[in-house]
Amino acid sequence: MSIRGKACIVGAYEHPARKAENKSTAQLHAEVALGALRDAGLSRADVDGYFCAGDAPGMGPLSMVDYIGLDRLRHVDSTDVGGSSYLLHVAHAAEAIALGKCNVALITLAGRPRSEGMATGTAPRAGNPAQPDVQFEYPYGAAVANMYALCARRHMHEFGTTSEQLAWIKVAASHHAQHNEHAMLRKLVTVEEVVNSPMVADPLHRLDCCVISDGGGALVVTRPEIARTLKRPVVSVRGAGEAVKHQMGGQLDLTYTGARFSGARAFEEAGVTPADIKYASIYDSFTITVLLQLEDLGFCEKGQGGRFVADGNLISGTGKLPFNTDGGGLCNNHPANRGGITKVIEAVRQLRGEAHPAVQVPNCDLALAHGTGGSLGTRHGSATLVLERE
Amino acid sequence: MSEKLAPRTPPAPTPDPSTRAFWEAAREGRLLIGRNTKTGKVHYPPRPVCPFDDEGEVEFVAASGRGTIYSYSHMHAKTPYVIAYVELAEGPRMMTNIVDCDPAALRVGLPVRLVFVPSEDPAQPIPMFTPAEEKSDHAHA
pLDDT in tens, A275-291: 999 999 999 999 999 99
Work out how many CB contacts closer than 8 A connect A with B.
114
Q: Quick one: pLDDT at residue A174?
A: 98
Residues B114-135: pLDDT tens digits?
Answer: 999 999 999 999 999 999 976 5
Provide the pLDDT confidence category of residue B3 given band limits of 50, 70 and 90.
Answer: confident
- Does the structure show a pLDDT above 60 at B139? no
The span from the CA of B59 to the CA of B57, in Å, is 7
Q: Quick one: pLDDT at residue A127?
A: 84
- Does the structure show a pLDDT above 50 at B48? yes
Q: Quick one: pLDDT at residue A275?
A: 98
Range of the domain at A244: 8-116+210-389
For helices A287-297 and A144-159, angle between their N-to-C axes, nearest 10 degrees? 50
Q: How many angstroms away from the CA of A210 is the closest CA of chain B?
A: 17
Q: How many angstroms away from the CA of A128 is the closest CA of chain B?
A: 10
Please report residues of B whose CB lies closer than 8 A to that of A202: 73-76, 103
| CA nearest neighbour of A291 among A327, A321, A268, A264 | A321
Strand partners, B67: B88, B112
Q: What is the average pLDDT across A43-63? A: 98
Q: Is residue A35 part of a domain?
A: yes
Is A170 within 8 Å of A330 (Cβ atoms)?
Answer: yes
Please report residues of A whose CB lies closer than 8 A to that of B71: 150-151, 153-154, 157, 254
CATH for A93? 3.40.47.10
Q: Which residue of B has its CA nearest to A129?
A: B14
Q: Is residue A125 part of a domain?
A: no
Count of the separate structural domains present in chain A: 1
DSSP β-ladder status, B81-88 and B66-75: antiparallel
Q: What is the ipTM of this complex?
A: 0.96
Provide the pLDDT confidence category of residue B140 given band limits of 50, 70 and 90.
Answer: very low
Share of chain B above pLDDT 70, in %: 93
Average pLDDT for chain B: 94
Residues A72-81: pLDDT tens digits?
Answer: 999 999 999 9
The span from the CA of A293 to the CA of A277, in Å, is 15
Q: Quick one: pLDDT at residue A119?
A: 87
Q: Is residue A230 part of a domain?
A: yes
DSSP β-ladder status, A279-282 and A366-374: parallel
Q: Is residue A202 part of a domain?
A: no
- Does the structure show a pLDDT above 80 at B112? yes
Q: Is residue A154 part of a domain?
A: no
Q: Which of B13, B70, B76 sits opposite A201 (nearest CB)?
A: B76
Residues A151-184: pLDDT tens digits?
Answer: 999 999 999 999 999 999 999 999 999 999 999 9
Provide the pLDDT confidence category of residue B138 given band limits of 50, 70 and 90.
Answer: very low
Q: Quick one: pLDDT at residue B135?
A: 53
Beta-carbon separation of A130 and B93 below 8 A = no
Residues A327-379: pLDDT tens digits?
Answer: 999 999 999 999 999 999 999 999 999 999 999 999 999 999 999 999 999 99
DSSP string, A49-93: EEE--TTSSSSTTHHHHHHHT----SEEE---BTBTHHHHHHHHH
- Which run of H or E residues covers position A218? strand A215-222
- Which run of H or E residues covers position A239? strand A235-245
- A→B contacts (Cβ < 8 Å), by residue, are 122, 124, 126, 129-130, 132-143, 145-146, 149-151, 153-154, 157, 198-204, 247-252, 254, 378
Beta-carbon separation of B95 and A146 below 8 A = no
Q: Is residue A135 part of a domain?
A: no
Q: Which of B8, B73, B92 sits opposite A150 (nearest CB)?
A: B73
Provide the pLDDT confidence category of residue B141 given band limits of 50, 70 and 90.
Answer: very low
Burial class (CB in 10 A: 0-12, 13-18, 19+), A150: buried
Provide the pLDDT confidence category of residue A1 given band limits of 50, 70 and 90.
Answer: confident
Q: Is residue A200 part of a domain?
A: no
DSSP β-ladder status, A104-111 and A49-51: parallel
Residues B61-105: pLDDT tens digits?
Answer: 999 999 999 999 999 999 999 999 999 999 999 999 999 999 999
Q: Is residue A337 part of a domain?
A: yes
Residues A300-332: pLDDT tens digits?
Answer: 999 999 999 999 999 999 999 999 999 999 999
DSSP β-ladder status, B32-36 and B42-43: antiparallel
Average pLDDT for chain A: 97
Residues A115-130: pLDDT tens digits?
Answer: 999 888 999 988 898 9
- Does the structure show a pLDDT above 70 at A205? yes
Share of chain B above pLDDT 90, in %: 91
What domains can be seen in chain B, in order of their start residue?
A: 20-132 (2.40.50.840)
